[in-house]
Amino acid sequence: MGLMNCEIHGEIGVIPYVSKDLCQLILNKEKISPSKIKSIHVTFYDDGEVLLDRYYFFSIDLFNRLLLKEYYEIISDEDESIFTKLTREHLGVVCVGCFKDYMNNIGYKYKL
């Protein structure tokens, strides 16, 4: 996980799994209803074993527009490339502290 220098939180980690439009709202501290945020749970497998679980966060508009699903299993390289192609250009980067502050502020229960 990379580091950034946040005006509020100083040198801190970033979350690269948040859609760009959501990143913008977080930066602007523009509150939206928690029901406008969709999290996507992705389980990565390696050789049949769970490697890691990761959560992505999308605005509901983008989630619907891209026809995303709430859960993905990434078993093969092909699965990974399909998921990456679908989401990559829409993902931005946001400070972990700002992300948590924002989500707590609007009352969105997240898992990281």
Please give the C-alpha separations between residue 93 and each of 16, 31, 108, in angstroms, as whole numbers.
4, 18, 19
Take residue 37 and report the two structure tokens written for it: 């945020």
Site string for Zn ion, 57-96 (x = CB under 5 A): --------------------------------------x-
Q: Is 97 in the site for Zn ion (CB under 5 A)?
A: yes
CB nearer to Zn ion: give 31 or 69.
31
Q: Is 13 in the site for Zn ion (CB under 5 A)?
A: no
Binding site for Zn ion (CB under 5 A): 6, 8-9, 95, 97-98
